[in-house]
Amino acid sequence: MSSQEEHRHFPRSRAPRNVSLTLQRETPEADTAPLHLLCRDVSRAGLGVIMPYSITPDTDVELWIRLPEEAGDLHLYGTVAWCAAPDGEWQAGIALNLERSDGAAWAARFDHRGRLHA
């Protein structure tokens, strides 16, 4: 087991198809627009995303995520935990703050083992 897996609080699942994810810095810089990202995986406490460029770890971000079959977006907050380009493609892990905004609604979509409800 890798050390990254040892530090996870909940298991990761492949992101459902057609997840819509928009990210922006919590305090956006004047010249930055929100990013529409591909979500790789999800867990109760975090998201794995593909980024167009590097983002500094410990950056606070604001997210809007729409799951398939859902009527509206969930508004979430999180912090970039890591960012790397292991295969030439920037990827980042975002630790969610479940105590803010729609964090409780996000967490409710997972079962007692931490798996996303189908």
Q: For 56-76, write each residue's pLDDT tens digit.
A: 999 999 999 998 888 899 999
Dihedral angle of Cα 86, 12, 40, 24, to the nearest 10 degrees: -100
Which amino acid is located at 30 in the chain?
A: A
Taking alpha carbons only, the member of 92, 57, 60 closest to residue 77 is: 60
Question: pLDDT band at 5, cuts 50/70/90?
Answer: very low
pLDDT at 82: 96
Cα–Cα distance measured from residue 51 to residue 81, given in angstroms and rounded to the nearest whole number: 13
| Burial (0-12, 13-18, 19+ Cβ within 10 Å), 41 | middle
Question: pLDDT band at 116, cuts 50/70/90?
Answer: confident
Cα–Cα distance measured from residue 24 to residue 35, given in angstroms and rounded to the nearest whole number: 6
Give the mean pLDDT of 21-37.
86
Extract long-range pairs of 73-77: CB within 8 Å, 24+ residues apart.
73/20, 73/22, 74/102, 74/105, 74/106, 75/101, 75/102, 76/100, 76/101, 76/102, 76/103, 76/106, 77/26, 77/101, 77/103
